[in-house]
Amino acid sequence: MLKPETLNAFENFCEEAKKQGFEPKIESGWRSFERQLLIWNEKALGKRKILDEMGKLVNRDELSDLECMKAILLWSALPGTSRHEWGTDIDVIDAAAVPEGYEAELSLEESFGVFGKFHKWLDSQIESGNSFGFRRVFLPGIGRVQQEPWHLSYTPEAKKIEENFTPEHLTERLEKSDILLLPKILENLDWILKEHVVCYFE
């Protein structure tokens, strides 16, 4: 379900990476609005883990709806704003570095640990403009989403989607869905878009 342009660029990226002994693998690619909605609603119900900014488990029952919404947004996108819905964004690991029997979990520990060499190489590729159109999006110091070095965005196509993104269209989609915490979301939509969405646009 990724855009053919994204896949094509990823193949070229892989070819270059292989020369260095890496084996980039997409851990998470396209995700539907419905899938993101399910994740959101399960978190809002306390059926799925909610983490604070340190990655520590928090208890849903101890959070107001507003606090709950803000906590979910640290690690999960509001449905309709996830870049994984675009077909341009991917979560990537280095399959060549995965130890036998190990299940990648996409964490910072991994990014600086087992996949550290791969990310260092990726840094230098991005810096020198040799990353085949891919860039990192969730970087430290930008917005409120936690740092995600593994998340890559295929810029040429993502840019087009960013340009056509409107709050009105998003509101319409959310109102038509059965999303939980909707009143809090709509009350804070400008803030959410500013801190969690458009600050990551190029």
Taken in order 159, 160, 163, 166, the sign of the CA dihedral is negative
User: Does residue 85 bind Zn ion (CB under 5 A)?
Assistant: no
The piece of 30-38, 111-119, 128-136, 151-159 that touches Zn ion (CB under 5 A) is: 151-159
Of positions 43, 119, 151, 184, contacts Zn ion by CB under 5 A: 151
Q: Report in angstroms how near the CB of residue 187 gets to Zn ion at its nearest.
A: 27
- The secondary element (H helix, E strand) that includes residue 190 is helix 189-192
Of positions 6, 39, 78, 91, contacts Zn ion by CB under 5 A: 91
> Which residues fall within 8 angstroms of residue 3, CB to CB, at 6 or more apart?
86, 87, 88, 154, 157
- The secondary element (H helix, E strand) that includes residue 90 is strand 89-94
Which residue in 125, 129, 91 sits closest to 19, CA to CA? 125
Instruction: Find the residue with minimal CB distance to Zn ion.
Output: 151
The piece of 59-67, 84-92, 114-122, 162-170 that touches Zn ion (CB under 5 A) is: 84-92
The piece of 32-40, 53-61, 74-82, 150-158 that touches Zn ion (CB under 5 A) is: 150-158
